[in-house]
Chains A and B, each alone.
Chain A
Amino acid sequence: MTDGVAPAMFGPKSAARWVGAVSGAVLPVMAVVAAIVAIWYGGSVMMNRAWTLDQIERRGLEMTTMEIVADTMNQERPVLPTPHQVFNELWDTTVGEPIMRERRGELQGNPRNLFFHAYHTLWPTILGFAIGSFLGILLAVGIVHSRAMDMSVMPWAIASQTIPILAIAPIIVVVVSNLPALNNAVDQGWISDDTKLLVPKALISSYLSFFPVVVGMVAGLRSPNASDLDLMRTYSASRGQTFWKLRLPASVPFLFTSFKVSIAAALVGTIVAELPTGARFGLGARLLTGSYYGQTIQIWSALFMAAICAAALVILLGALERVVLKRMGVRT
């Protein structure tokens, strides 16, 4: 980089910044991740050794320690799969499989592809997140503007989160799929069967995602300090004007922080909603079939896919947050 094409990226000053960033955050994070991977490999060897030793004894084989260690890392149904096995499985079931396949003359999603399952989990998550956030924002606006609502709803909103909702997931699924209105809509052809399966999942994830939004939004709407509110009063601004011009803009940073928490919660909600219902598609269904057939590698790869989805959603919201805050002129 002698011609100075990109001095901002490669100049001496920026070099110092890069070094600073690397030693500041990237290096420690990488060290921690490396440590986790190392512990994981160690755990795999420990937990899978019994099976290998058992096999050796049964077949009367002679194996060196190195061979035993190598075998523990490459079993078909290990107690704890190794990172590379999980990674291979992830690779094979995403890139290695076609996304669509032909069946009975129709082009359909391929259930062997993990993206297909991720898609079936992501849709209800996003829908539930949208419903939950919308209700959460409405509730927060009500709580901030009405003393009666603050006093009566807020304690119950907190109590609602101490209820292990995920334990109720099976009931909600049964109740919602038996709702006459919903069945009627299917009979009339307004919604398809697939959409009907999506509704209970979305409801559960919306229940989990509304609470962080309520808490964050109430804090955000109350965040303007007294002098700002006094200024609005000297302008003789109405409650509506104070809301649109002061409270709402002030709440946006709080809102995004809670969005990130609540979309992660929404994803957990969808996955758990898939567990007790015998869903055929979705990451939760994948976990369940894996656990029925003892396919540990499949369970772990589904878990990692869920982790990747969660990370992707949070990163997406983070990017949106930066764009929105920048356009609003917030300096960070």
Chain B
Amino acid sequence: MKAVAFPQWGLPALGAGLVALAAVSDTRLALMLAVWFGAWALNAALANRARGAGARLAVPVIFGVTLLVLWEMAVQLYDISFVILPAPSAIWARMIAETATLWADFQQTILKGALAGYIIGCGAAFLAALAVDRSGFLQRGLLPVGNFIAALPIVGTAPIFVMWFGFGWQSKSAVVVAMVFFPMLVNCVQGMKASDAMQRDLMRTYAASYGQTLLKLRLPTALPFIFNGLKICTTLALIGAIVAEFFGSPTVGMGFRIKIEMGRLAMDMVWAEIAVAALAGSLFYGLVALIETRLTFWHPSQRR
């Protein structure tokens, strides 16, 4: 195979050609393609030339905005049914109109159900990992079993927990605890093994006690693993809390609202809830990632 040299103007020319071709048959498609290729050309130019934090922020933002614009255009130009896909503008209007309801649902599901479960589950897993850490036998047994359980569809236990703990937020927290416990445990146990023998020997030559070794060597080296677990669990916690509400909840909560408004085909409200969930999920993840960069600034993975 001989490599074909692709000229610099090749991609823009291809894009312009496609737009021209589409313009002959369908002007709406041509408009959307033009927006897409225009934004892409801008992004490509930015990514290849500009350096620094500005470009690193601008490129993904332009991409995201382009997707939103294309979504809006598709809905408006092609008259897509409201039930199938509401336009971003309609969703935004609904979010403004229903802020109070959205806030109440957010409090019920995220602040009560998800956060309580997240803290209890991750805390319990961390303590369990500390307890297990003293026995090599238990560690060897728990890692494969924990890895296996972490891969299971634990969210399926939601109906059971709703049956046990009632419709309130407590049952949602219980589901979240069950979902985050094993992924967190596996990461913590692995993290506790991360310090190498040389470093532990050094601590021994200092006559450091178990507690000192734990605090000054082993917990810091475990931090990247612990944060990996914490980051995975942020999404799991939101999923657990929302899905558990499908099986029974008081008349407030994001999962409850999604289920009810779906039945009434008020899709803009459903999408508004999803936008809130996505925003909450991203913020939650971002917050944990921010704490991680503050605490593990010394680790190679954090170097720029």
Q: Which residues of B contact A79 (CB under 8 A)?
A: 163-164
| A170 interface neighbour in B139, B234, B259, Cβ under 8 Å | B259
Indicate if the CB atoms of A272 and B141 lie closer than 8 Å. no
Chain A residue at smallest Cβ distance from B114:
A164
A side interface size, CB within 8 A = 67
CA–CA, A290 and B282, complex, Å: 34
Give the residue among A161, A164, A267, A276 with the most B Cβ atoms within 10 A. A164
Indicate if the CB atoms of A299 and B159 lie closer than 8 Å. yes
Question: A107 an interface residue at 8 Å Cβ cutoff?
Answer: no
CA–CA, A290 and B144, complex, Å: 30
CA–CA, A114 and B157, complex, Å: 18
Q: A28-B140, A166-B243, A167-B255 are in contact. Are A156 and B64 (CB under 8 A)?
A: yes
CA–CA, A162 and B55, complex, Å: 23
Give the residue among A162, A241, A268 with the most B Cβ atoms within 10 A. A162
Indicate if the CB atoms of A291 and B1 lie closer than 8 Å. no
Chain B residue at smallest Cβ distance from A168:
B274
Indicate if the CB atoms of B155 and A272 lie closer than 8 Å. yes
Q: Which residues of A contact B169 (CB under 8 A)?
A: none
Interface residues of A in 116-167 (CB under 8 A from B): 146-148, 150-156, 159, 161-167
| A147 interface neighbour in B47, B152, B164, B258, Cβ under 8 Å | B47
Question: A175 an interface residue at 8 Å Cβ cutoff?
Answer: yes
Indicate if the CB atoms of B63 and A156 lie closer than 8 Å. yes
Indicate if the CB atoms of B145 and A240 lie closer than 8 Å. no
| B246 interface neighbour in A147, A156, A276, Cβ under 8 Å | A276
Indicate if the CB atoms of B156 and A303 lie closer than 8 Å. yes
| B235 interface neighbour in A161, A174, A314, Cβ under 8 Å | A161
Indicate if the CB atoms of A310 and B60 lie closer than 8 Å. no
Q: Which residues of B contact A272 (CB under 8 A)?
A: 153, 155, 243
Q: Which residues of B contact A164 (CB under 8 A)?
A: 235, 238-239, 242-243, 277-278, 281
Question: B254 an interface residue at 8 Å Cβ cutoff?
Answer: yes
| A28 interface neighbour in B60, B137, B148, B259, Cβ under 8 Å | B137
Question: A56 an interface residue at 8 Å Cβ cutoff?
Answer: no
| A148 interface neighbour in B59, B139, B242, Cβ under 8 Å | B59
CA–CA, A151 and B46, complex, Å: 10
Question: A24 an interface residue at 8 Å Cβ cutoff?
Answer: yes
Indicate if the CB atoms of B243 and A174 lie closer than 8 Å. no
Question: A32 an interface residue at 8 Å Cβ cutoff?
Answer: yes
> Would you give the shortest CB distance from A183 to chain B, in whole angstroms?
12
> Would you give the shortest CB distance from B108 to chain A, in whole angstroms?
14
CA–CA, A168 and B300, complex, Å: 37
Question: A324 an interface residue at 8 Å Cβ cutoff?
Answer: no
Q: Which residues of A contact B152 (CB under 8 A)?
A: 264, 303, 306-307, 310
Chain A binding surface SS class: helix
What 1/0 mask marks residues of chain B from 25 to 53 whose CB sits below 8 Å from any chain A CB?
Answer: 00000000000000010011011100000
Q: Which residues of A contact B71 (CB under 8 A)?
A: none
Indicate if the CB atoms of A167 and B140 lie closer than 8 Å. no
What 1/0 mask marks residues of chain B from 50 to 71 whose CB sits below 8 Å from any chain A CB?
Answer: 0000011001101110010000
Question: B285 an interface residue at 8 Å Cβ cutoff?
Answer: yes
Question: A44 an interface residue at 8 Å Cβ cutoff?
Answer: no
Indicate if the CB atoms of A159 and B163 lie closer than 8 Å. no
CA–CA, A296 and B164, complex, Å: 11
> Would you give the shortest CB distance from A43 to chain B, in whole angstroms?
11
Chain A residue at smallest Cβ distance from B132:
A32
Question: A294 an interface residue at 8 Å Cβ cutoff?
Answer: yes
Q: A267-B153, A294-B163 are in contact. Are A162 and B43 (CB under 8 A)?
A: no
Chain B residue at smallest Cβ distance from A239:
B3
Q: Which residues of B contact A86 (CB under 8 A)?
A: none
Q: A29-B141, A155-B60, A310-B152 are in contact. Are A162 and B235 (CB under 8 A)?
A: yes
Q: Which residues of A contact B160 (CB under 8 A)?
A: 291, 296, 299-300
Question: A323 an interface residue at 8 Å Cβ cutoff?
Answer: no
Chain A residue at smallest Cβ distance from B41:
A148
Indicate if the CB atoms of A148 and B235 lie closer than 8 Å. no
CA–CA, A260 and B151, complex, Å: 9
Give the residue among B141, B148, B255 with the most A Cβ atoms within 10 A. B141
Q: Which residues of B contact A161 (CB under 8 A)?
A: 235
Question: A330 an interface residue at 8 Å Cβ cutoff?
Answer: no
Q: A240-B1, A276-B259, A306-B153 are in contact. Are A171 and B284 (CB under 8 A)?
A: no
Question: B22 an interface residue at 8 Å Cβ cutoff?
Answer: no
Q: A28-B138, A148-B47 are in contact. Are A287 and B159 (CB under 8 A)?
A: yes
Q: Which residues of A contact B188 (CB under 8 A)?
A: none
Q: Which residues of B contact A175 (CB under 8 A)?
A: 83-85
Indicate if the CB atoms of B278 and A166 lie closer than 8 Å. no
CA–CA, A178 and B80, complex, Å: 12
Interface residues of B in 226-258 (CB under 8 A from A): 234-235, 238-239, 242-243, 246-247, 254-255, 258
Q: Which residues of B contact A36 (CB under 8 A)?
A: 145
Q: Which residues of A contact B139 (CB under 8 A)?
A: 28
Q: Which residues of A contact B115 (CB under 8 A)?
A: none
Q: Which residues of A contact B60 (CB under 8 A)?
A: 151-152, 154-156
Cβ contacts A to B, 28 pairs, < 8 Å: A28-B137, A29-B140, A30-B141, A32-B142, A32-B145, A33-B145, A148-B46, A150-B47, A151-B55, A152-B43, A155-B60, A161-B235, A163-B277, A166-B243, A167-B255, A167-B258, A170-B246, A174-B262, A175-B83, A238-B1, A238-B2, A238-B3, A241-B1, A291-B160, A291-B247, A296-B160, A299-B159, A306-B152
Taking A151-B60, A164-B277, A306-B156 as given, write out 9 further A-B residue pairs in contact, using a Cβ cutoff of 8 Å, ordered by the A residue number: A29-B141, A30-B141, A147-B48, A162-B281, A163-B282, A171-B258, A178-B84, A241-B1, A303-B153
